[in-house]
Amino acid sequence: MESEAEYRGSPRHNDSQHHQRAEQKSLPRIWYQYYATFTLCVASFATGASQGWASPMIQILGSDDSPVGKMTNMEISPLETLPSVAAIVGVIAFAGILTKFGRKVTGYLGAVFGITGGLFLLLATVKLELYIGRFMMGLSSVGLGMVGPIYLSEIAYPSIRGALMTYTQFASQTGSLVSFLLGIVCGYRWFTAFSMVGIILFPMVFFLIPESPHYLLLQSKNSEAHDALLWYRGDSNVVDQELNNISKITPKKVNYRVIFQNRVNRKMMIIFCFLYVFNIMSGSTVIMGYASKIFQESDSSLEPNVAAAILATIKFFSSLASIFVIDRTGRRFLVIFSFTIMGASLVVTTVYFYLLQMGSSVNNQGWIPIASLSTFIAANTMGVGTVGTVIATEMLTPEIKAVALGILGILATGVTFLSLQLYSIFVEYIGSYFNFLVEAAFSISSIFIAWYIVPETKGKSITEIVEQLSKDEPRLINKSQETLPEHSFGSISTISAR
């Protein structure tokens, strides 16, 4: 077991200046990092398209135009739940694959599942083929969803790291929105074929980028790691310096117990669990998942599907905006600010639905839930909904990253299922207002929890983040982050002394 003292590094002022000069010197190779981001955005677009498949296609499958015969609600239900079941299986399997076989193998395997699942859906003539296809698409989404942020966090400069990881989330939102629009005008076969474009293109463009240098070093493949890092830096001297800084990271057996054997690791997991769980319980999943039903109950003059489309559009543009703000403002600020706006929006929504249920007149006030929930979606997407994943991948060291994200994936899947079930129970036995009241309570309490436990990770190396946590100073913001940050590999070696 490692002690806290092993996490503490020596002064980094001179080392930081060296890496700042190195980053400026190798600036042209930033475009190689942008290409890597593009390839992973293709994967994210494919997963977004897969997630957006169900909503328009369920309507067709329940009609006489269904390619497998008209399906009942009970027969359609597994098409919505099977990807969640696949997610539980997938996060466990892909966490091990990421650690043992690398990021590239994981990406290719995710593509294989996606293409195979897409073909099952495209060519389906019986219901079983639909179920198999949806399960495999769920596995694909988990694998590709894990490899993207992990890979980018390991090759990107800190000065653009947040933006690059946010691009992938924007691509996912784009895929979902395109699916929504195509579902309006396309039949089943054409829509499913279009939704496969991204997953077919991904392995072709993914082939050109190297394996993660972090993974290669953990496998003692130093020569391959040098070549991989050289591809992203372009200067052999810079590469030698960075590899020298991380050469003390030695491969070791990784399992789920590793996460809890060190106090700093435990604190990281608490922070991650907070960001994931409280984001979901604050309504991020329920509001998007039940948007049409919520607006149907809100007495709004807009058609429920139109109002839901408005939310999807706002989520799309908010995801685009997050690209430009995440590296200009602190991660911690975005988390606290978003929870504040989300809480205020949910309070307004709670009051509206309470008055509606009590029989009070809300004539001509149907715009209130649309405005408040649109504000909620914008704040969530630009804040904790995006930043949570960024913080998770920035804080974890390479040898535990895949395992930790696997644990978080299982937790997030379980909490998502719980939140969706609670919504149905609250609406059935108490009223819609109570669901929003509970979500408001989670959002408001999150403001204070985030203030005390969420650290600032913008522009910081892993060493700086871990050292900050080991000193119980999550609220301190390093003024040095106002200057050009260190390389992503800058001082990792100081945390890996055994």
Q: Look-up: residue for tokens 């907070």?
A: 274
pLDDT at 487: 39
* Terminal Cα-to-Cα distance of the chain (whole angstroms): 9
pLDDT at 134: 92
> What value does the mean pLDDT take over residues 461-483?
57
Please give the CATH superfamily to which domain 25-209 belongs. Answer: MFS general substrate transporter like domains (1.20.1250.20)
Please give the CATH superfamily to which domain 258-476+493-498 belongs. Answer: MFS general substrate transporter like domains (1.20.1250.20)
Q: How far is CA 254 from CA 72, 251, 263, 416, in A?
A: 46, 9, 17, 27
* For the chain, the helix, strand and coil percentages under 3-state DSSP, each to the nearest 5: 80, 0, 20
Q: What percentage of the chain exceeds 90 in pLDDT? A: 26
pLDDT for residue 49 is more than 80? yes
Residue-level length of the chain? 498
Tell me the one-letter amino acid at 366: G
Q: Alpha-carbon dihedral of residues 480, 486, 488, 489, nearest 10 degrees? A: -120
Q: How confident is the model at residue 251 (pLDDT cuts 50, 70, 90)?
A: very low
Q: Which of residues 299 and 66 earns the better pLDDT score?
A: 66
Residues 287/377, Cβ–Cβ less than 8 Å = yes
> What value does the mean pLDDT take over residues 252-258?
57
Q: How far apart (Å, rounded) are the C-alpha atoms in residues 188 and 120? A: 13
Task: Give the tokens for residue 93.
Answer: 């399997």
pLDDT at 47: 92
What are the contacts of 429-433 at 24+ separation with CB within 8 A?
431/353, 431/354, 431/357, 432/294, 432/297, 432/353, 432/357, 433/350, 433/351, 433/352, 433/353, 433/354, 433/356, 433/357
Task: Give the tokens for residue 258.
Answer: 């590793």
Question: Which of 382, 310, 292, 398 lies closest to 342 in space, CA to CA?
Answer: 382
Q: 0.75 cut: is pTM over it? A: no
Contacts of 223 (CB under 8 A, 6+ apart): none
> What value does the mean pLDDT take over residues 233-252?
67
Q: How confident is the model at residue 322 (pLDDT cuts 50, 70, 90)?
A: confident
Tell me the one-letter amino acid at 90: G
Q: DSSP of 153-218, one letter per residue?
A: HHHS-HHHHHHHHHHHHHHHHHHHHHHHHHHHH--HHHHHHHHTHHHHHHHHHHTTSPPPHHHHHH
pLDDT at 308: 67
How many CB atoms within 10 Å of residue 346? 27
b/e burial code for range 302-331 (CB count within 10 A of at least 16 → b): eebeebbbbbbebbbebbbbbbebbbebbb
Q: Which of residues 223 and 24 earns the better pLDDT score?
A: 223
Q: How confident is the model at residue 485 (pLDDT cuts 50, 70, 90)?
A: very low
Residue ranges, comma separated, of all CATH 1.20.1250.20 domains in the chain are 25-209, 258-476+493-498
Tell me the one-letter amino acid at 422: L
Burial of 384 (0-12, 13-18, 19+ CB in 10 A): buried
Q: How far apart (Å, rounded) are the C-alpha atoms in residues 153 and 225? A: 16
Q: How far apart (Å, rounded) are the C-alpha atoms in residues 99 and 91? A: 12
pLDDT for residue 12 is more than 50? no
Most confident region among 225-229, 325-329, 412-416 by mean pLDDT = 225-229
Q: How confident is the model at residue 197 (pLDDT cuts 50, 70, 90)?
A: very high
Q: Which of residues 13 and 129 earns the better pLDDT score?
A: 129
Q: How far is CA 152 from CA 34, 37, 161, 494, 496, in A?
A: 10, 7, 7, 22, 21
Q: For the segment 268-306, what is each residue's pLDDT rounded down to a tens digit?
A: 888 888 998 999 999 888 887 677 677 777 666 667 667
pLDDT for residue 491 is more than 90? no
Q: How far apart (Å, rounded) are the C-alpha atoms in residues 446 and 341? A: 11
pLDDT at 258: 61
Q: How far apart (Å, rounded) are the C-alpha atoms in residues 494 and 246? A: 8
